[in-house]
Amino acid sequence: MRSNETWITEVTLLGFQVDHVLEVFLFGIFLLFYILTMMGNGTILGLIWLDPRLHSPMYFFLSHLAIIDMSYASSTVPKMLANLVMQKKTITFGPCILQTFLYLAFAVTECMVLVVMSYDRYVAICHPLQYTIIMNWRVCTALVTTCWVFSFLLALVHITLILRLPFCGPQTIDHFFCQIMSVFKLACADTRLNRVVLFAGSVCVLVGPLCLVLVSYTRIIFAILRIQSREGRRKAFSTCCSHLCVVGLFFGSAIVMYMAPKSSHSQEQRKVLSLFYSLFNPMLNPLIYSLRNAEVKGALRRVLWKQRSV
C-alpha cells in the first residue's frame, strides 16, 4: 500500500435513510420477521430431529436449508436492527468484511443445497425403486459437505480479492449491510477484476444450478404425467411444489440483484431486493414447506400430542 493511502477502520451504513418514526416502525416489523424466521426454521429443525418418520434424505437436506436460512438472516439482520434504533450507524472494517464473507458463503450454500434437493426429488420420482440405493446416507452426507465446502471456498476467493485492494475511499456504504458491491466502492483502486470474478461466480452458482433444477423438474413433470393414478400424480406434485416455490423466490431475486445491468435498478431498489432474499425468503421457506407438506404437519401434530401427554 502506498504511503498516501489510509486503511479504513470504520464504515457508516446509511441504511434506509428515513425519519426516526419510520425507523422505529421498520425496527418493529423487521424484528417480527426475524423472530418468525428463527422460530419457523427452528421448528422445522426440531421436528426433523424429534420425529423418526422425517429421518429421510429429503428432510436431511431440508434441515440444512433451515440452518442456512437462520445463519443467512443472522449475518445481516441483527446489525440492521441495531442501526435502525441507534444514532451512530457504524461498523468497524473487520466485522464488515466478515459480514460480507458470511453472507456470500451462506447465499452460495443455499443455491447448492436447493440444487441437491431438486436432484433428490428427481431420483425419488423418476427412479423410485433405486431411490434408497442412489440416495444412501453416505451420498447425502457427501453432497451436503461438498455444498458447504465449495461455498465457503468461493466466498474466501472473493474476500481474498477484496483484501488486496487499498481502502482509502469514502467511509460510507449506501446499504443496510456490507454488501459486496457496496464494499467495492470503498476501494481507491481498480475493482474490475473483482467485478469480473463476482459476475463469473454468479453465473456459476446461479445460472448453472438453476439450469440443473429446470432440467430435473422437466424430467420430473414428464414422469408425473405418466403416473396413471390421479392420487399418485397429486402426491407427486405436492412434494415438488414447495421446493419449486422456494427455488423461484431465491433464484429469481438473486439473479435480478447480481446479474441485471447496473443501471437497471436504483440503489433503493437494490436494498429492497437484498432485504427480500436476506429476510423475507428465510422467513417464508419454513411456511412454504410446512403449509404444503402433510408429513411436516403430521410431525408437528405428533410432537404436540406427545407434549400434552407428558
Closest CA to 62 of 163, 6, 144: 144
Q: Cell numbers of 303, please?
A: 410432537
Give the pLDDT of residue 282: 87
Give the pLDDT of residue 182: 87
User: Cell 451504513 maps to which residue?
Assistant: 13
Give the pLDDT of residue 3: 42
User: Cell 468484511 maps to which residue?
Assistant: 97
What is the third-level CATH fold of 10-309?
Rhopdopsin 7-helix transmembrane proteins (1.20.1070)
Distant-in-sequence, close-in-space partners of 237: CB < 8 Å, separation ≥ 6: 224
User: Cell 414447495 maps to which residue?
Assistant: 242
| Cα gap 94→88, rounded to integer Å | 17
Three-state SS at 173: strand
Give the pLDDT of residue 223: 83
Amino acid at 156: L
Whole-number Cα distances in Å, 100 to 112, 140, 179, 219, 300: 19, 29, 6, 37, 36
Give the pLDDT of residue 199: 87
Burial 267-301 (b: 16+ CB within 10 A, else e): eeebbebbbbbbbbbbbbbbebbbebbebbeebbe
Give the pLDDT of residue 100: 93
- pLDDT of the chain, 310 residues: tens digit per residue: 444 455 678 888 888 877 888 888 989 999 999 999 999 999 889 888 888 888 889 889 999 999 999 998 999 999 989 988 888 888 888 899 999 999 999 989 998 998 998 899 889 888 888 999 999 999 999 999 999 999 999 999 999 999 988 887 678 888 888 888 889 988 888 889 999 998 888 888 888 888 888 888 888 888 888 877 777 677 767 767 777 777 877 777 777 776 666 554 566 777 777 787 788 888 888 877 776 666 776 766 776 676 665 5
pTM (2 d.p.)? 0.86
| Cα gap 72→288, rounded to integer Å | 18
